[in-house]
Structure 1
Amino acid sequence: MMLRLWKWYQNCLAYHPVKTQVISSGFLWGVGDITAQYITHSTAKKRLQISKDADKDFKIDWKRAAITSSFGFGFVGPIGHFWYEGLDKFIRLKLQLQPKSARFIAAKVALDGLIFGPFDLLAFFSYMGFATGKSVDEVKEGLKRDFLPALVLEGGVWPIVQVANFRYVPVRYQLLYVNIFCLLDSAFLSWVEQQKDAPWKQWFTSFNPLKERGG
């Protein structure tokens, strides 16, 4: 069954690469958001010690899941497809590094972490803010609250994930590899966004030197 499914995916990817990447990205990001909703619901019950009378069964916020899924469809799928294809060509043809070499992989991981990673986070939190009806000022506040914590926490995980990706996975399957981890990543980012002004986020913003300088 799994082998037949894999062959079907390979066939779709060969004939409709962008469409296949878009659909798979949207599906996985939607599932990731539903996972984040469940985690948020469970942790809130434990933290607030909700009584039996006030206890409510977990219900999926389908509007939020659809919004997050749309981010996978509209951004991660198409942008990710062209990013990984373009990144590979740039490093091979412009930087002229040998594929699979240590310098080749290091260059890919560095560019991915310095360019695509922050851009992806900025796009996600901005999109989620505007899509849920927030104003420009509210979106800016959300970015100040969520961007740096997410960037720091993801920065300790994604380089390791991408080393294996760029070393062992063919270019056309690299977004699929990333999307599998995005099932966890989308859950994580949705969870970060739903945490609002959680105390653990204050630890990151407390080191902002601009606050001390009044600027």
Structure 2
Amino acid sequence: MAGLWRSYQALMGRYPWTVQIVTAGSLVGVGDVISQQLIERRGLANHSVKRTAKMMSIGFFFVGPVVGSWYKVLDKLVTGGTKSAALKKMLFDQDYTDALISNYYLWPPVQIANFYFVPLHHRLAVVQIVAVVWNSYLSWKANKML
């Protein structure tokens, strides 16, 4: 595991934007797989690869670039790594998208910790790891209605 982390860090150092986007897309896909297999209990025979690919595309082409860019903007709007700066970034982030209104129990503490403890180039990965749970829920909820 340590070797995998070192490899990830090395790639992040050389290709930070690409690695952040690939990480985002991959973790959105993981969220859908978890939703289909653990929440919906579809089994491998009934797994919708098309649905997972669609979710991954959202991660690669929307979540990664948009949220990654948003974090860069936030870092310019609110400088520093203090607790106060982390709190301000979290508050700005809560106005970023309506989807966060329904998940205030999850995102504010995650984002305060993320903005306070995590370097800029790792923030997207941290959020995407937490978002695996959120994406699993969203995928289940969205597809439950179909």
Contact preservation (8 Å) 1:39, 1:191: no
**Greater RCO, 1 or 2 (C-alpha within 8 Å, sep 6+):** 2
Note the aligned Cα RMSD (angstroms): 1.9
Structure 2 residue 73 is the aligned partner of structure 1 residue 86:
yes
Q: Distance in 1 between matches of 2:66 and 2:132?
A: 17
Q: How many residues align?
A: 145
Structure 2 residue 82 is the aligned partner of structure 1 residue 101:
yes
Structure 2 residue 124 is the aligned partner of structure 1 residue 175:
yes
Gaps of 5+ in 2: none
Structure 2 counterpart of 1:70: 57
Identity, % of aligned positions: 32
Superposed displacement of residue 151, structure 1: 3.4
Runs of 4+ residues over 4 Å off in structure 1: none
Q: Distance in 2 between matches of 1:196 and 1:39?
A: 18
Q: Show the 5 A alignment for 1:60-209.
A: 60-92=47-79, 99-115=80-96, 117-118=97-98, 121=99, 151-152=101-102, 154-196=103-145
Gaps of 5+ in 1: 43-55, 93-98, 122-149, 198-215
Superposed displacement of residue 40, structure 1: 4.5
Q: Distance in 2 between matches of 1:24 and 1:177?
A: 10
Letter matched to residue 151 of structure 1: I
Give the TM-score normalised by structure 2. 0.89
Structure 2 counterpart of 1:16: 15
Larger Rg: 1
* Cα gap change, 1:188 to 1:57, in 2 (>3 Å): closer
Q: Distance in 1 between matches of 2:72 and 2:5?
A: 21
Give the TM-score normalised by structure 1. 0.62
Superposed displacement of residue 57, structure 1: 4.8
Q: Distance in 1 between matches of 2:142 and 2:101?
A: 13
Superposed displacement of residue 82, structure 1: 1.5
Contact preservation (8 Å) 2:21, 2:65: yes
Superposed displacement of residue 157, structure 1: 1.0
